[in-house]
Structure formats: structure tokens, C-alpha cells
């Protein structure tokens, strides 16, 4: 046992020295891909002065309706979920075997009859509850990347914030009805269909809030205890 400790101590010291000499991790943010937009079909010239595809109304508003137009999404997300469950069950079983009779008499052995009885009982009680709440507020400007046949707008946008040694990313995508867009070109996030709202962090600050792999192993479902 002492020899094992003598062999393990230099190995542990060498490992610690190698970890201390390792360089600091440099976080490099990948260059995001340019926003992909569907190109609008070029109208065919028919020789007429009036072209319906390039019309401009005299009293039209400036609401976004074409590919490339910008819409400001007002993030107003609140979700609250609660769930509780309880289970209770019990079972009791009894069995009695009377002593046999021989010629109308019950045989005994040292005054003890052969009658017996068996009984068993089980009980189970379980309960659990779960609560979760999330909230997200703010603004982000997205671009119209496609216009569906019914006039709905497919929007997509991303905002990247660099704060000290960390980066915060907010991305929004989904489908917006034109009538839900205000004259100021804003729309509330809870009116976006097929909405995908992502708020995440990358970098040193996000890594400091993440549990290590050993802690995650102890808290995982694979831990047998």
C-alpha cells in the first residue's frame, strides 16, 4: 500500500504541473454567415405604364412587407409551469389453513395443532412536484427573408453582444402576419408563429456558470446511487 502511494504521488504532482503550464484558452467567435434571403422574382416587362409589382400607394404606410425590410421584435416572454403528482397504494393478503381432523379429532403434537395462517401487506407512497418559470424582455431587429403566398412574412435576425470576456447571443426567427406589424414596424414576440427564440452565452463567463464533468456525472441519470 505504501509503495502504491509512493508511485501515485509523483504522477499526481506531474499532472498538476502540466495543468499549470497549459496556456489560457482563447475564445474566438466564428464569423457568422450572411443572412440568406430569397430573391424576389424580376417582373416581366409587358410594355404597360402601370406595373402592379412595383406599385406605390399615395397614402400607404411604411410597414414592412417585402424581402429585406426590417421589423423590430419586442421580446415579451413569460412562461410559468407547475406540476405535481402523488401516488398511494396498499395491499393486504391473508390465508388461514385449519388443522386436519382424524376421526373427528384434531391431532396435536405436544399440545400444538397443525393449523397455520399466513398474512402479508405492502404499501407505497410517492409524491413529486416541479415548478419552472422563465422571462425574457428586450428588443431585437430582424429582417424579412421571405414572403409566403398568403402574405405572411418569414423573419430572422441575430444580435451578438460582447461583454468583457463573454459573448451574449440573441436570435429570433419565425412567421409574422402583416396585420400584426404596427405602423412603427414593431411586433410583439408572442405574436410570432413557429417562433424560435434563443438567448445563450459563450465564453469565459458562460463557462464559469457551467458545472464540471464530474459534477454532471454525479447529477446525471446514469449515476447508480
The pLDDT mean for the chain works out to 76
Band (pLDDT 50/70/90 cuts) for residue 6 is low
Q: Give the Cα separation of 35 and 140 in Å (integer).
A: 15
pLDDT value for 207: 65
Band (pLDDT 50/70/90 cuts) for residue 27 is very low
Q: Give the Cα separation of 32 and 103 in Å (integer).
A: 99
pLDDT value for 4: 54
Least confident interval from 37-51, 124-138, 211-225: 37-51
The β-bridge partners of 158 are 171
Mean pLDDT score, 99-120: 72
pLDDT digits (tens, 9 = 90+) for 176-218: 999 999 989 999 999 999 999 988 877 666 666 667 776 777 6
8/102: higher pLDDT = 102
pLDDT value for 31: 46
Among 64, 61, 43, 62, smallest CA distance to 53 is for: 43
213 phi/psi in degrees, rounded to 5: -70, -30
Q: Give the Cα separation of 209 and 34 in Å (integer).
A: 30
Mean pLDDT score, 20-24: 48
Give the rounded percent of residues in the chain with a pLDDT score beyond 70.
Answer: 60
Amino acid at each position: 500500500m505504501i509503495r502504491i502511494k509512493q508511485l501515485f504521488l509523483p504522477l499526481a504532482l506531474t499532472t498538476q504541473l502540466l495543468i499549470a503550464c497549459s496556456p489560457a484558452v482563447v475564445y474566438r467567435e466564428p464569423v457568422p454567415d450572411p443572412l440568406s434571403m430569397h430573391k424576389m422574382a424580376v417582373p416581366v416587362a409587358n410594355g404597360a405604364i402601370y406595373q402592379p409589382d412595383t406599385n406605390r400607394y399615395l397614402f400607404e404606410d411604411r410597414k414592412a412587407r417585402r424581402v429585406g425590410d426590417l421589423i423590430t421584435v419586442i421580446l415579451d416572454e413569460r412562461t410559468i409551469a407547475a406540476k405535481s403528482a402523488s401516488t398511494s397504494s396498499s395491499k393486504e393478503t391473508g390465508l388461514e389453513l385449519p388443522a386436519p381432523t382424524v376421526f373427528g379429532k384434531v391431532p396435536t403434537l405436544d399440545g400444538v395443532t397443525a393449523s397455520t395462517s399466513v398474512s402479508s401487506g405492502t404499501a407505497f407512497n410517492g409524491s413529486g412536484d416541479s415548478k419552472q418559470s422563465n422571462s425574457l424582455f428586450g428588443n431585437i431587429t430582424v429582417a424579412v427573408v421571405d414572403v409566403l403566398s398568403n402574405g405572411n412574412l418569414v423573419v430572422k435576425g441575430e444580435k451578438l453582444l460582447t461583454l468583457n470576456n463573454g459573448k451574449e447571443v440573441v436570435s429570433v426567427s419565425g412567421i409574422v402576419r402583416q396585420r400584426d406589424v404596427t405602423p412603427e414596424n414593431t411586433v410583439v414576440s408572442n405574436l410570432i408563429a413557429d417562433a424560435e427564440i434563443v438567448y445563450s452565452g459563450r465564453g469565459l463567463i458562460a463557462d464559469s456558470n457551467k458545472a464540471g464533468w464530474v459534477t454532471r456525472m454525479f447529477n446525471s441519470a446514469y449515476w447508480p446511487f
